Amino acid sequence: MQINYPRLLADLRRLATFGQAGSGVHRLSFTPEDREARHWLLQRMTEAGLDAQIDGIGNVYGQTKGVNKAVLIGSHTDSVPKGGWLDGALGVLYGLEVARARLEAGAQTDLGIDVISFADEEGTYRALAGSLSFCGHLSEADVEAAKNQQGKSLRKALNEAGYTGRPRATWDLSRDVAYLEGHIEQGPRLESEGKKIGVVTGIVGIRRVQVTCTGQADHAGTTPMHLRKDAGSALIKYCYDLMQRFDQVRSPDSVWNFGHVAFEPGAGNVVPSTARVLVEFRDPVEATLDRLQAEIQAAVATANGQRGVGVQATELIRISPAEMDANLAALIEAAARGRGAPTLRMPSGAGHDAMVLTRHVPTAMLFIPSIGGRSHDIAEDTDEADICLGIDVLADTVRALAERR
Ligand SMILES: [Zn+2]
């Protein structure tokens, strides 16, 4: 099969015109621009000779005709607000180009390529909705409950898009032999270490905990310091203590973030009665997440009751780490070596549809470098040479899979 690089790059540029925002895209799920992009993709799949449809959740799914086994390649085409042009789009159009090149070459095996763009990966309504639906983890009640920030339900969005009533595509154990997702790294590691292909070992687990300090509101001028039950100061002290604790038990891959802080009543001349912080932390290993969470509790035990302030922690989100298939990862690594591309084995710090698929189908991901590590911003970009190297490695991985059968 012969990859047509100008055609791949032209498709990427064309897809970026739907919801174009400067050098990036603003293509939130089920908006007119997102739906137009889906329709365009459907046409491109059909032109390529795939049996393509948009299903009842908005997944664009193109299957190779006349085969019983297939490698599924894909990602997503929705974006975050004012996001980059390659996040998700790259993996979908990699799949389209590999499928197209393979059909043009008149593939000699019974192993076809199926291509998919999963709906709402970025979670305008429900993160990973398309891949969850594809794998049977999104009930009609979930569709009803999922809402965007304006309170509009996913159900209503699907109605408006005209997708309601269509069957939902699902994975097929007898057909799908592997899921492959190419993606930009969205971080700086490949670039800073001079590597070209990231071989993803797993996708990090995510936990989010809200820590709340409860004290008492008082006049900030007249209340002596030793009589204050200052929830704000208690929270700041807590966070500082927690950072030091996390540093003691972290792994090299651990990351954490105090993403949101709120003081109530929130005035310069009032001692805060309540203070809250969202602590989010990620790691590819569940045991490390357990260790980090234990430190949150230990820090609560230390802080609780000091200077009359109560401290408690509530878990809000718990997503387990997802391992990638080691055999497929080894094939990607070998393919990269064959192209002379320096590789880096690395976890993914961001969530991807692959984390859902890997529970059912052997799944692997490859990363290509992000310039300056920038992503989820219109500044996101990747060298064209790296985009082309990435699809070469992906296509070689598919070849190796076909030969192995
Ligand atoms: Zn993405």
Q: How far, in Å, from the CA of 15 to the mean position of ligand 1?
A: 15
- Predicted TM-score (pTM) of the model is 0.89
Q: How far, in Å, from the CA of 77 to the mean position of ligand 1?
A: 8
Angle among Cα 80, 82, 83 to the nearest 5 degrees reads 55
DSSP 3-state percent helix, strand, coil across the chain (nearest 5)? 35, 25, 35
Model pLDDT, residue 405: 80
Q: How far, in Å, from the CA of 23 to the mean position of ligand 1?
A: 17
Distances (CA, A) of 300 to 53, 122, 310, 384: 52, 33, 9, 49
Q: How far, in Å, from the CA of 274 to the mean position of ligand 1?
A: 36
Q: How far, in Å, from the CA of 367 to the mean position of ligand 1?
A: 11
Q: How far, in Å, from the CA of 95 to the mean position of ligand 1?
A: 14
Q: How far, in Å, from the CA of 109 to the mean position of ligand 1?
A: 31
Q: How far apart are CA 203 and CA 109, in angstroms?
A: 32
Model pLDDT, residue 404: 86
Specify whether the backbone of 266 is left (phi greater than 0), alpha (psi in -120 to 50) or beta.
left
User: Which positions of the chain have pLDDT values less than 50?
Assistant: none
Q: How far, in Å, from the CA of 4 to the mean position of ligand 1?
A: 23
Q: How far, in Å, from the CA of 76 to the mean position of ligand 1?
A: 6
Q: How far, in Å, from the CA of 123 to the mean position of ligand 1?
A: 11
Q: How far apart are CA 215 and CA 19, in angstroms?
A: 47
Q: How far, in Å, from the CA of 203 to the mean position of ligand 1?
A: 13
Q: How far, in Å, from the CA of 276 to the mean position of ligand 1?
A: 30
Q: How far, in Å, from the CA of 297 to the mean position of ligand 1?
A: 33
Q: How far, in Å, from the CA of 308 to the mean position of ligand 1?
A: 45
Q: How far, in Å, from the CA of 173 to the mean position of ligand 1?
A: 25
Angle among Cα 384, 128, 376 to the nearest 5 degrees reads 40
Taken in order 371, 126, 257, 150, the sign of the CA dihedral is positive
Residues near ligand 1 ion, CB 5 Å cutoff: 87-88
Model pLDDT, residue 1: 87
Model pLDDT, residue 108: 67
Q: How far, in Å, from the CA of 33 to the mean position of ligand 1?
A: 18
Q: How far, in Å, from the CA of 40 to the mean position of ligand 1?
A: 19
**If we measure between CA atoms, which residue out of 382, 322, 390, 392 comes closest to residue 353?**
322
Model pLDDT, residue 47: 98
Q: How far, in Å, from the CA of 90 to the mean position of ligand 1?
A: 9
- What stretches of 135-264 show up as alpha helix (H) in DSSP? 140-145, 154-161, 189-192, 231-249
Q: How far, in Å, from the CA of 138 to the mean position of ligand 1?
A: 19
Q: How far, in Å, from the CA of 185 to the mean position of ligand 1?
A: 9
Distances (CA, A) of 34 to 15, 61, 196: 10, 15, 30
Residue 373: DSSP 8-state: G
Q: How far, in Å, from the CA of 127 to the mean position of ligand 1?
A: 11
Contact 202, 284 (CB under 8 A): yes
Q: How far, in Å, from the CA of 294 to the mean position of ligand 1?
A: 31
Q: How far, in Å, from the CA of 331 to the mean position of ligand 1?
A: 22
**If we measure between CA atoms, which residue out of 140, 167, 143 comes closest to residue 59?**
167
Q: How far, in Å, from the CA of 75 to the mean position of ligand 1?
A: 7
Q: How far, in Å, from the CA of 358 to the mean position of ligand 1?
A: 16
